[in-house]
Amino acid sequence: MATKNVRAKNFLTETIHSNDIFTPEDFSDEHKMIADMTEKFVINEVMPALSKIENQEFDETIRLIKEAGALGLIGADIPEEDGGLDLGKVSGAIIGEKMALGRSFSITFGGQTGIGALPIAYFGSRAQKEKYLPDLLSGSKIAAYALTEPSAGTDALGLKTTAVLADDGKHYILNGEKQWITNSAFADVFIVYAKVDSKQITAFIVEKNSEGLSTSPEENKMGLKGSSTRSLILDQVKVPVENVIGEIGRGHIIAFNVLNIGRYKISASALGSSKRSLELAVKYANERKQFGRPISSFNLIKQKLAGMTIKTYANESAVYRTAGAMQDGFEEMKDSGKEYGKTIARFAVECSINKVMSTEALDFVVDEAVQIHGGYGYMAEYEVEAIYRDSRINRIFEGTNEINRMIIASTILKNGKQPLENKQVNDGPLHREKQTIQLMKEYLDSTIQAIHQAGFDDLNEEQEAAAFLADLAIAIYVSESAILRTDKLLTKNGDDRSAQILDCTKVYVHETAQWCAIKGLNILNHLNDNEQFSQTIGRLISSSPDNMVAIKRRIADRIIAAERYMV
């Protein structure tokens, strides 16, 4: 895949050009083949079995995991030397997006390909990889990730599960309880995090037949009924010392980095669910008639369809921009010999940005889809009802969105103030939007200054300021992703063939800028204000003279005609 390492630049302070980023329009023939194969697998194999999967007939789930393994879908972005296909992060994102159609099955699949297999693939010893990865990548064995505890969710450092070296020096004895463990009913291998000597967080590979290991009954969940979610009980479980992943006391490094990848994979899945929700909504709107006409002809419905499309376009732009940057980072790692942990950590902010942005965009999109369905959207026989229930957990999975906002803000503040490039914006279809992005970066810079001047550097205490700073960073990254992608396509295809994406970008950038400005008004006094901060808010609110109502009607008309997400 030919891309450039955009992560070499800081998206908050430096100028990034459209040719620096990867977009869906850059998909290779191989990428398109993977997308087609995954979609056919889900439609032809997974969806016909969904009723059984939702009824927790786990034999179906296990069968389908094996089929996915036989197709190479589990090991797509695992290195070849470890038994994978090494197709890259873009391919992994494509698979995650397409697999979202499988609803509960996609969670099982994601647990296998992401947080289940990656601790071994990225941090395991050669012996561990040779012993476990062939079965995990083929789907003949299934993995589960056991980090969360009743008193420690995202707080990995607060673990209570203990690991004590046995007298024989050949085993660790694990005791504790893990909560809400995906795939736990049928997992063959558990990645368990425990504290050695009550202080050194360490990752262990624990096999299901270990004496003293058991699981609770299935949790009765709001959504994702077909996935397995249980507690994992460890009572004097003996684990061979050779099953320690990495080093004693370095398990939190593994946990945090694997969670970064998990967050990114959730964003791709959320994108797939957004596209499906939009498709269901527009088809229903065209079929449903009220007052003698399809409800898709009413302008308030059009505004909803347009809003769903706009957020999905921005979401898609950010997800694949990040996929391309991560792919380049991993390729660079191979050449330089860097460690997985250091490479993944470079993208921690982008992974958190994508996770927050995609899951919140999905909740907006599927909520509007239910509203368009009216009373039928509340009925269990309609697919959109299940997507609505299933989607809610995404803002909690892999670190709540609040935690991810704290990660974004603390990382930005820790990196310190950097000089902001004064970018000269030339005339063109997106010149006003590019000016708005530059203004938003100045706004973020002013916010950092205001936080320092107010003495609010302890973001664990000043969480409102942290969330605001994170929201600005998310807005900048996603808006800029849409602008760069659209600019790239305008250069390639011209204005006439790019009308839909141009419209989507204009609305997204300006509505996002206005939203950020309004949030700024609400926190301005807490930050003790500064003159530049106040001036920037006013400029963002009045950032566009365009008729947004008319633009949204145009966007909706194209979606109504296509009856699916299209750009």
- Regarding whether 25 and 137 lie in a shared domain, the answer is yes
pLDDT at 8 over 60: no
Judged against a pLDDT cut of 70, whether residue 163 lies above it is answered with yes
Tens-place pLDDT, residues 264-285: 999 999 999 999 999 999 999 9
Runs of H (alpha helix) within 374-462: 383-391, 401-415, 431-453
Q: Are residues 217 and 281 in the same domain?
A: no
For the chain, percent of residues with pLDDT exceeding 90: 81
Q: With cut-offs at 50, 70 and 90, classify the pLDDT of residue 153.
A: low
Task: Report how many domains make up the chain.
Answer: 4
pLDDT at 527: 85
522 in a structural domain:
yes
Domain assignment of residue 32, yes or no: yes
CA dihedral 476, 479, 482, 488 (to 10 degrees): -60
Classify residue 377: in a domain, yes or no: yes
Whether residue 262 is found in the same domain as residue 396: yes
Question: Residue 304 belongs to a domain with what CATH number?
Answer: 1.20.140.10
Using the 3D structure, point to which of 250, 270, 303 is the last residue of a domain.
250
By annotation, the residues acting in catalysis are 398
26-74 pLDDT, tens per residue?
A: 999 999 999 999 999 999 999 999 999 999 999 999 999 999 999 999 9
Residue 360 lies in a domain: yes
Q: How does the average pLDDT of the chain come out, rounded?
A: 93
DSSP string, 112-166: IIIIITHHHHHH--HHHHHHHHHHHHHTSS-EEEE--BTTBSS-GGG---EEEE-
Summarised one tens digit per residue, pLDDT across range 174-229 is 999 999 999 999 999 999 999 999 899 999 999 999 999 999 999 999 999 999 99
195 and 276 assigned to the same domain:
no
- The verdict on 241 and 362 lying in the same domain is no
Residue range of the domain that includes 128 = 6-142
Do residues 101 and 272 lie in contact, with contact meaning Cβ atoms separated by under 8 Å? yes
Residue 493 has pLDDT above 80, yes or no: yes
Q: Is 173 left (phi over 0), alpha (psi -120 to 50) or beta?
A: beta
Predicted pLDDT at 533: 72
Whether 409 is covered by a domain: the verdict is no
pLDDT digits (tens, 9 = 90+) for 315-344: 999 999 999 999 999 998 887 767 888 899
pLDDT above 70: percentage of residues in the chain: 95
Q: Is residue 412 part of a domain?
A: no
pLDDT at 185: 97
Strands (E), 281-335: 289-290, 293-294
The pLDDT score that the predictor gives to residue 423 is 64
- What value does the mean pLDDT take over residues 438-464? 91
Which CATH number fits the domain that encloses residue 120?
1.10.540.10
- Extract the tokens encoding 465: 């300021």
Residues 275, 311 within the same domain: yes
Residues 203 and 239 grouped into a single domain: yes
pLDDT band of 521, cuts 50, 70, 90: confident
Is residue 275 domain-resident? yes
The pLDDT of residue 360 is 98
Look at residues 142, 173, 207 and tell me which one is the last residue of a structural domain: 142
Residues 189 and 271 in one domain: no
Does one domain contain both 424 and 508?
yes
- For the cut 90, the answer to whether the pLDDT of residue 13 exceeds it is no
Q: Of 97-106, 413-422, 453-462, 518-527, give the lowest mean pLDDT range.
A: 413-422
Q: What is the DSSP letter of 369?
A: H
Do the bridges between strand 189-196 and strand 200-207 make them parallel or antiparallel, or are there none, so unpaired? antiparallel
Q: Are residues 112 and 14 in the same domain?
A: yes
Gyration radius (Cα) of the chain, Å = 24
Among the listed residues 328, 442, 297, 418, the one whose alpha carbon sits nearest the alpha carbon of residue 22: 328
Contact between 126 and 246 (Cβ < 8 Å)? no
CATH number at residue 243: 2.40.110.10
Q: Of 209, 234, 250, which residue sits at a domain end? A: 250
Does a structural domain hold residue 414?
Answer: no
By the 8 A CB rule, do 362 and 272 touch?
A: no
| DSSP letters for 3-67 | ---GGGS-TTTS---GGGS--GGG--HHHHHHHHHHHHHIIIIIGGGHHHHHTT-HHHHHHHHHH
Q: Which residue has the tokens 């012996």?
A: 127
User: Which range among 142-156, 244-258, 541-555 shows the weakest confidence by mean pLDDT?
Assistant: 142-156
Residues 211 and 290 in one domain: no
Joined tokens for residue 133: 């990865």
Q: How far apart are CA 90 and CA 331, in angstroms?
A: 12
Predicted local confidence at residue 180, as pLDDT: 96
For 49-69, letters b (16+ CB in 10 Å) and e give bbeebbeeebebbbebbbebb
| Alpha carbon distance 511, 360 (integer Å) | 16
Q: Are residues 394 and 269 in the same domain?
A: yes
Residue 6 pLDDT: 42
Distance CA 42, CA 33 (A): 14
Contacts of 233 (CB under 8 A, 6+ apart): 177, 213, 214, 215, 216
pLDDT in tens, 68-92: 999 999 999 899 999 999 999 999 9
Q: What is the mean pLDDT of residues 109-133?
A: 95
Confidence of residue 2 (pLDDT cuts 50, 70, 90): very low
pLDDT at 531 over 80: no
pLDDT for 5: 46
pLDDT tens, residue by residue, 285-309: 999 999 999 999 999 999 999 999 9
Which of 25-29, 108-112, 232-236, 489-493 has the lowest average pLDDT?
A: 489-493
So what's the pLDDT on residue 545? 83
